[in-house]
Amino acid sequence: MNLQNMRSLRIDANNQTAFLDVNSFRKRLPVKKFFKQSFRSIRKHHINYLVVDVRGNGGGSVTNSTLLSKYLVDQKI
């Protein structure tokens, strides 16, 4: 699968909503840079609502899923 199918970010600025699709936490999937850029873009566009879609996620690295969690919570994990 190509990276776009594995993870993507779409921003609807009119509705102040971002849609983050994460279809795998596979160990070799470069998510660290993707998450950093995605959340930077979300802040830049002053997005108030975030939909995280993991329905198609088959699992993978706990480290990658924890990394996403760190961006979603207000405190250190």
Mean pLDDT by 10 residues, the chain (77 residues): 78 96 88 94 95 93 92 74
Total count of domains within the chain? 1
The pLDDT, as a whole number, for residue 4 is 65
Indicate yes or no: pTM above 0.75.
Answer: yes
User: Which residue range is the domain that position 20 belongs to?
Assistant: 3-72
The pLDDT, as a whole number, for residue 5 is 73
DSSP 1: -
Residue 26 amino acid letter: R
The pLDDT, as a whole number, for residue 51 is 97
Q: Phi, psi (5° rounding) for residue 74?
A: -90, -5
The answer to whether residue 60 is domain-embedded is: yes
The pLDDT, as a whole number, for residue 74 is 72
The β-bridge partners of 60 are 25
The pLDDT, as a whole number, for residue 28 is 82
The answer to whether residue 66 is domain-embedded is: yes
Please compute Rg for the chain using Cα positions. 12
Of 70, 65, 10, 72, nearest in space to 41 by CA = 10
The pLDDT, as a whole number, for residue 6 is 84
The answer to whether residue 15 is domain-embedded is: yes
